[in-house]
Amino acid sequence: MTSQGASIQISGIVQGVGFRPFVYGLAARLGLAGWVRNTSAGVEIRVDGAPAALEQFTSLLRTELPPLARIDTFEVSWQPANGFEQFEIIPSAAIASAFQPISPDICICDDCLKELFDATDRRYRYPFINCTNCGPRFTIIRDIPYDRPNTSMVDFKLCANCESEYREPLDRRFHAQPVACPDCGPQVWLESTASDSPPIVQGEAAIQAARNSLSEGKIVAIKGLGGFHLACDATQPAAVEELRRRKLRVGKPFALMFPSLNNISEHCQVSPAEAELLQSRQRPIVILNRLPGSRIAAEVAPSQDTLGAMLPYTPLHYLLLTHPDLPPLVMTSGNLSEEPICTDNSEARQRLASLADVFLLHDRPIETRCDDSVARLGPGGGMVLRRSRGYAPDPLRLPFETPGILAAGAELKNTFCLTRQRYAFLSHHIGDLENYPALQAFESGIQHFERLFRIQPEAIACDLHPDYLATRYAMQRAEVDQIPAIAVQHHHAHIAACMAENGLDETARVIGVAWDGTGYGEDGAIWGSEFLLAGYAGYRRLAHLPYVPLPGGDLAARQPWRMALAWLQHSGIDWDSDLAPVSHAAQADSEIDRLQALKHQLKSGLNSPPTSSMGRLFDAAAALLGIRQEVSYEAQAAIELETLADPAERGIYPLELRPDGEINPAPLLMTLLADQRRGVPLPSLSARFHNSLANLVVEVCRAARQQSGINQVALSGGVWQNMFLLKAASQALEKANFEVLLHHQVPANDGGLALGQALVAAVRLRNG
C-alpha cells in the first residue's frame, strides 16, 4: 500500500486541553505513524499513512475536538512519507517570538465531580481534583509552552500514581499540568485571623470547620481559583450587614453562590437560557430576577429585585456547599472596597485580618488574580458585564490583521488589550484605577500578557482624558519605548469595540449610540449621550444632550440631587420646595445653605465642568422622582430607577431634537414632574422615562439613516447595561428595519473600551 506523509500546523486553544492525547488516539485508531508536539505557536504534527486514512485524520482533527479545544488556523502540507514506525508524543519545542492563545480557567468537569464524591476513588473529596478538561489554566501559568515547569505547580512533585497518569497518552490526565492528588498536591487548612496563628485544622476537617463558622454567622476568607472570597450565610441579615460594615461596602449588591441550580430556582426566576448560562463552563455570576418568597437577606441587594447568582466552579466550592444544612453563601471579592482582590496567603493575612473571622487557605500559588465574571441574559443571548474568570484571556478573533498594539483602557472597570495578527487579548478585570495597588495590578498584568503572547507593542492606545492613570502610563511608556501614543476619544472607542465584536471590517461605518456616565470629549467637556457616524478610522458627532454644569465635578455623580437641580435650572423649571431634590438639599443638617451655594456654583461655573452625560440625566430623573438623592456606588440611582419600571407601560414623553443635533430634554422633565404631581404611580413614571429615551434613539437613527444611508446601529456604553432600556430600544430599532449591533462577549461598559481603542489605533497606524 502506498504511504504518504503530512505536516500539520494548528493554532488556537490547543494546549492544556487534552489535544495531544486526542491526536494520539485518533492516529492509533486510523493506523497512522508519526508524532505530535506542543510548540510556542500551537501544535505541530508529522504523520505517515495511507492517503485515505490521512484525509480522514485531517477531517476528524477538526470535528472531534476535546471539549475545551478551539482551532483557529489549520495548515496541511503533503509530502513523501517520513518512514515513521509508530505514533508518539514528543517533547515540546520553544519557538522564538511565536505565541498561542491560552485557555481560561474552567469549572470542574462532570468526570472529576463524579470522582470527587466517589468513596472508592483515590481523589475522594480532594479539593484540587482536575484533568485536561477542567481546572486552573490562566491563573497558574507563568510562561509558554503550557507545561508544568512553566506553572505555579512546578514545586509540587508528582507521586508515582499521578506521574503514571501524566505520562499515559490515553489517560484524561495526560499532561494535565495542575494534576495532583492528596499525596503530592496542594493542601487546604483553616486558621484564625490572629497574626502568626498556626493552622487550626487541615484537610476535610478544615472544610467542615469553615462550614460550621459560616452557620454560626461568621465571615470566612476563602482562597479560591483566582483570589480570595469573603463568605457568609446569605440568609442571616446580621452576618451580611456585618460584612458590609467591615468591607466598607454600603449598598452595592453582593454575589451569591448556590449549591445547585434547583436551589437557585427556589430564590430566583431561571429561564432555560439563564440556566444554560449559569451552568456554562465559564460559571459566571448571572443577574437573575428575585422571587418574592426568597429567604435571601434583603441586605444582600438593597432596593433591587435581582440577585447575582453563581454555581460552584471548583472542587473546594462543591465540598463546602454540598451539605443539606448549608444555605446559599455571599461570595464577594476578598478585598477592602475599591482595592484589588487578594491572591497571596501572607497578603491576605495582612489585608483581610480585619474583615474575616477565619481563613480557609491552600498552598497552590495564584499567578494571576482573576475576579468572577458577571453576565446576564439580554436581547440575543448572554451578555458579559464583567469579563474575567472563565473568559480571559480567551482571545477575540478580529475582522482584520493588526500590528502589535497595547490599549490601556479606561479609569473605571479597567481592562487592557493587546493585539497581534487577528487576535485581541482582552485582559481580565483589573478594576478602578484609583489607588496604587490597582495601578500595580494593571502594570504587572500588562507585563504578564506581553510575555505570554510574545507581543512587543508597536504603538500604545489610550483614552483622551489626560489625568487617567491608564493614560499617564501609556504616555510615559510610549516615551520610554519610543513608539507612538494614540489617544482615542472615549465614545468612539465604545463604538469601535462593538463593531469589532460583531466582525465589521475596516471599511464599515455605523450609526453609533454611545451612552454612559463619563467620557472626555475633544472639546474638553464631559460627553456621554453621543450619536456618532463612526468607523474605525474616525467619527462625526451627530447629536447629543445639551451641556449642563456638573456642580462639584465627581461629587455630582455621588449626589444625584445636584444633577437634578442643574437640569431643572437648565430647563427653566423652578426649584419648588415640593420637589424631592430641593427638599433633600434644604433639610441637610449643615450651616451652609446648600441650595444657595449650588445656585451660586451653577451661575459662576466654579468646579462645574460642562457635561452631556446620559448617565447623569438618569441620576437627575431618579432624584426628581424621590428614588435616590445620594449614592454609595456607581449607577445606583439609575439601577434603582430601572428596578421600578413597569414593563406593561407604553407611555412616552416628548423630547426636542433641534436642527443642530442638540437634544433638549426639558419637555420630558416638565411632563414627568406634571405626571408626578398628578399622582401617576412611580413604576409608570420610570417606564415612561425609559420609553421616551428608547423612542429618541429611533428618531435620531432614522434621521441619520436618511442622511447617510447607513442601516447598522451599534449600542455601546455603560447605560446599555440597563436591560429595560436596551430591550425597548433594540426592539424599536428592529421594528424600524435597523440592524442592531449589541455586545455579548465584551462588556458594553468601560470594561470593553480597550478593545475599541486598539482597533482604532491599528487603523490609524496603518493609514499613517
For 404-461, the pLDDT digits (tens) are 999 999 999 999 999 999 999 999 999 999 888 899 999 999 999 999 999 999 999 9
Handedness of CA 341, 345, 346, 350 (dihedral sign): positive
Half-sphere exposure in the Cβ direction for 377 (13 Å, CA): 14
Q: What is the C-alpha separation between 512 and 720, in angstroms, rounded?
A: 12
Would the pLDDT of 161 be above 80?
yes
Q: Is residue 123 part of a domain?
A: no
The distance from CA 45 to its chain's CA centroid, rounded to whole angstroms, is 35
Asked if residue 424 and residue 322 are part of one domain, the reply reads no
Asked if residue 399 and residue 348 are part of one domain, the reply reads no
Q: Is residue 380 part of a domain?
A: no
Q: What is the C-alpha separation between 302 and 298, in angstroms, rounded?
A: 6
Across the beta sheet with 42-49, the strand order is: 70-80, 4-13, 42-49, 33-39, 87-89
Asked if residue 711 and residue 592 are part of one domain, the reply reads yes
Asked if residue 529 and residue 495 are part of one domain, the reply reads no
> If 0-12 CB within 10 Å is exposed, 13-18 middle and 19+ buried, where does residue 658 land?
exposed
Q: What is the C-alpha separation between 749 and 411, in angstroms, rounded?
A: 12
Q: What is the C-alpha separation between 331 and 320, in angstroms, rounded?
A: 12
Asked if residue 260 and residue 288 are part of one domain, the reply reads yes
> If 0-12 CB within 10 Å is exposed, 13-18 middle and 19+ buried, where does residue 364 land?
buried
pLDDT over 70 for what percent of the chain? 99
Would the pLDDT of 597 be above 80?
yes
Cβ–Cβ under 8 Å, residues 42 and 11:
yes
Give this prediction's pTM.
Answer: 0.95
> Quick one: pLDDT at residue 213?
95
Q: What is the C-alpha separation between 498 and 536, in angstroms, rounded?
A: 11
DSSP states of 129-167: --BTTBB-STTTB-SSS--GGGBTTTTSPPPHHHHHHHH
Asked if residue 604 and residue 484 are part of one domain, the reply reads no
Q: What is the CATH number of the domain that holds 217?
A: 3.90.870.40
Residue 221 CB partners (closer than 8 Å, separation 6+): 193, 228, 229, 230, 231, 334, 342, 348, 352, 355, 356, 358, 359, 360
Asked if residue 542 and residue 428 are part of one domain, the reply reads no
Q: Is residue 94 part of a domain?
A: no
Q: What is the CATH number of the domain that holds 64?
A: 3.30.70.100
In the numeric block, which cell numbers belong to residue 709?
Answer: 444611508
Cβ–Cβ under 8 Å, residues 53 and 47:
no
Closest CA to 141 of 102, 106, 85, 193: 102
> Quick one: pLDDT at residue 1?
58
**What domain count does the chain have?**
4
User: Mean per-residue pLDDT for 347-365?
Assistant: 95
Q: What is the C-alpha separation between 311 and 317, in angstroms, rounded?
A: 9
Would the pLDDT of 611 be above 70?
yes
Q: Is residue 566 part of a domain?
A: yes
Cβ–Cβ under 8 Å, residues 722 and 686:
no
Element (H, E) at 329: strand 329-333
Q: What is the extent of the structural domain holding 630?
A: 512-741
- Which amino acid type is present at position 61? L
Asked if residue 461 and residue 350 are part of one domain, the reply reads no
Q: What is the C-alpha separation between 356 and 563, in angstroms, rounded?
A: 38
Q: Is residue 673 part of a domain?
A: yes
For 216-228, the pLDDT digits (tens) are 999 999 999 999 9
Would the pLDDT of 640 be above 70?
yes
Rounded to the nearest integer, the mean pLDDT of the chain is: 95
Q: Is residue 465 part of a domain?
A: yes
Q: Which of 362, 382, 409 is the last residue of a domain?
A: 362
Handedness of CA 539, 379, 104, 227 (dihedral sign): positive
Asked if residue 403 and residue 302 are part of one domain, the reply reads no
Would the pLDDT of 273 be above 80?
yes
Cβ–Cβ under 8 Å, residues 285 and 373:
yes
In the numeric block, which cell numbers belong to residue 674?
Answer: 406634571
Q: What is the CATH number of the domain that holds 648?
A: 3.30.420.40
Confidence of residue 195 (pLDDT cuts 50, 70, 90): low
Q: Are strands 70-80 and 656-657 parallel, antiparallel or unpaired?
A: unpaired
Q: Is residue 278 part of a domain?
A: yes
Asked if residue 518 and residue 602 are part of one domain, the reply reads yes
Asked if residue 763 and residue 715 are part of one domain, the reply reads no
Asked if residue 533 and residue 494 are part of one domain, the reply reads no
Would the pLDDT of 37 be above 90?
yes
Cβ–Cβ under 8 Å, residues 362 and 153:
no
Q: What is the C-alpha separation between 422 and 530, in angstroms, rounded?
A: 29
Q: Are strands 87-89 and 33-39 parallel, antiparallel or unpaired?
A: parallel
Element (H, E) at 440: helix 436-452
Q: Is residue 280 part of a domain?
A: yes
User: Mean per-residue pLDDT for 507-522?
Assistant: 97
3-state helix, strand, coil split of the chain in percent (to 5) is 35, 25, 40
Q: Which of 341, 362, 383 is the last residue of a domain?
A: 362
Confidence of residue 601 (pLDDT cuts 50, 70, 90): very high
